[in-house]
C-alpha cells in the first residue's frame, strides 16, 4: 500500500515519516501522539510548532535542547519576565531559529498565558480533542489531514484569547504531537501509544 506503514530496522511497521532519521524514530515511537498535559509542557509544544512553521520538524528536533536553554525550559512565568535584553539575546542565539516574529510571539504568548489560571491552557487545548470513535485509523499518510474542524476551532479560540502564531495547521500539528488525536497509521506499532511498551 503506497504511503502505508513501512518496516523499520527492527522489522516493526511504522509511519513512513518516522523512519527518516534516528531522531524521527525516537520522536515517533516515544513522543508523537502521546498525551501531553500541563501548561508549561503545552506551551513548549505550542512554541515549537510555531517555530517549525515553514521548516522541517527535524530542524526543530535537532535544536530542541537549544530552545529549552534559550527559553528557560519553557516555564511560562520565566519567559513572561523576559526583557528586551533577552529578546536581543534570542535573536543572536545560534541554538534556536532566529526568526524575529516567532520569537516575539513566543514572548508575547508567555505574557498572555501568565495571566491565565493554572491549568487553563491545558483545559482549553484538551477541550478540542475529538471523540476517538469518530476518527478511523488512517491507513496511509494521504488519509492524515493537515487541518480539521477541531483545529480551526482551537486556532480561533487561542487567537481570541490573545495567543499568536497559531493558525489551523499549527493547531492541528499541536493536536497530533500532544495526543489529542492519534494519527499513527492503522498498522503502525505506535498506534494507541504501544511502541516501546
Known binding positions for Zn(2+): 15, 28, 184, 188
User: Is 27 assigned a catalytic role?
Assistant: yes
Q: Which residues are annotated as a binding site?
A: 15, 28, 184, 188
The half-sphere exposure of 187 on its side-chain side, counting CA atoms within 13 A, is 15
Return the HEC string of 151-186.
HHHHHHHHHHCCCCCCCHHHHHHHHHHCCCCCCCCC
Q: Cell numbers for 128, please give them.
A: 478540542
**Nearest Cα residue to 8 out of 31, 32, 28:** 28
Q: Cell numbers for 124, please give them.
A: 482549553
User: Is 23 assigned a catalytic role?
Assistant: no
Q: Cell numbers for 104, please give them.
A: 516575539
User: Is 128 assigned a catalytic role?
Assistant: no
Supply φ then ψ for residue 13, to 5 degrees: -75, 135
Exactly one of 43, 49, 150, 172 is catalytic; name it: 49
Return the HEC string of 43-61.
HHHHHHHHHHCCCCHHHHH
Q: What is the CA radius of gyration of the chain?
A: 17
Exactly one of 57, 128, 150, 172 is catalytic; name it: 57
Q: Indicate the SS3 state at residue 35.
A: coil
Exactly one of 27, 32, 43, 172 is catalytic; name it: 27
Residues with active-site annotation:
27, 49, 57
Amino acid at each position: 500500500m503506497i504511503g502505508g506503514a513501512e518496516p523499520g530496522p527492527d522489522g516493526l511497521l511504522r509511519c513512513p515519516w518516522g523512519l527518516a532519521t534516528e531522531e524521527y524514530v525516537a520522536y515517533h515511537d516515544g513522543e508523537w501522539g502521546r498525551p501531553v498535559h500541563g501548561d508549561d509542557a503545552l506551551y513548549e509544544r505550542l512554541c515549537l510548532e510555531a517555530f517549525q512553521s515553514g521548516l522541517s520538524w527535524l530542524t526543530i528536533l535537532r535544536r530542541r535542547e537549544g530552545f529549552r536553554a534559550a527559553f528557560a525550559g519553557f516555564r511560562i512565568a520565566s519567559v513572561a519576565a523576559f526583557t528586551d535584553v533577552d529578546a536581543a539575546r534570542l535573536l543572536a542565539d545560534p541554538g534556536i531559529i532566529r526568526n524575529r516574529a516567532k520569537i516575539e510571539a513566543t514572548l508575547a504568548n508567555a505574557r498572555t498565558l501568565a495571566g491565565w489560571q493554572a491549568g487553563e491552557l491545558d483545559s482549553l487545548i484538551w477541550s478540542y480533542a475529538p471523540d476517538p470513535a469518530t476518527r478511523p485509523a488512517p491507513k496511509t499518510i494521504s488519509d492524515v489531514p493537515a487541518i480539521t474542524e477541531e483545529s480551526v476551532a482551537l486556532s480561533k479560540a487561542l487567537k481570541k484569547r490573545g495567543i499568536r502564531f497559531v493558525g489551523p495547521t499549527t493547531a492541528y500539528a499541536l493536536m497530533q504531537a500532544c495526543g489529542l488525536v492519534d494519527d499513527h497509521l492503522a498498522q503502525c506499532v505506535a498506534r494507541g501509544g504501544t511502541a516501546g511498551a
